[in-house]
Amino acid sequence: MAVEIRRILVPIDFSEHAEPVLEWAAHLAKEHGSEIILLHAYHLPVEFQQLEGAYLPQDFWDTVKDEGQQGLATHAEALRARGIQVRPVVREGYPATVIEEEAASEGVDLIVLGTHGLSGLKHLLLGSIAERVVQKAPCPVLTVKLPT
C-alpha cells in the first residue's frame, strides 16, 4: 500500500520550537511532493475572558492577525525557497479546534505538530493541544517531541 500525502497541515505558534516541526514537515513535503498549509491560530485565554468587563478593541485583534500573517509569511518564504508549495492560514479560535476544523475542511492527509512532552501537574494544568488533536483529527498526526 502506497501512502499518498498531498497536503500537510503544520500548525505553528512562532515559538523557538517551531523549527523542528517545520523541518519534519519540509522533509515530508519534499519526499512526497506535498503542499504545506501553515496554520496559526490565536485566541483570548480563558483566564482573560473570565475578567468582568474585559474588552479588547478591534484594532488589537487586527494587530494580532497581522502579526500572525507576517510570521507565517516569513516561514512560507523560507519553505518556498526550498521548492515547497505553501499556503499560510491565520484563524481565530481555540488552537486544537481550529486545527481539527482546518484539517477537515482542507482534506489534509497529515498534520505535523510539536508537543512539549509535559507530564504530571504541568500537563494537568496546561492541557495538551497535541493530545487533543491526536484524539480528534480526521487524519494521521505526526507529533514532533520538543525539548521540555
CATH of residue 30's domain is: 3.40.50.620
Averaged pLDDT in 10-residue chunks for the chain of 148 residues? 91 88 97 97 64 64 85 96 97 94 98 75 60 93 82
Question: Are 68 and 38 within 8 A, CB to CB?
Answer: no
Beta bridge partners of residue 141, listed in sequence order: 111
Question: Are 130 and 148 within 8 A, CB to CB?
Answer: no
Kindly state whether residue 1 falls inside one of the protein's structural domains. Answer: no
pLDDT of residue 40: 95
Number of domains in the chain: 1
Least Cα distance to 36 among 46, 27, 48 occurs for 27
pLDDT of residue 16: 80
Kindly state whether residue 139 falls inside one of the protein's structural domains. Answer: yes
pLDDT of residue 126: 44
Distance CA 114, CA 20 (A): 8
Kindly state whether residue 19 falls inside one of the protein's structural domains. Answer: yes
Which structural domain range is residue 41 located in?
A: 7-145
Beta bridge partners of residue 86, listed in sequence order: 36
pLDDT of residue 125: 43
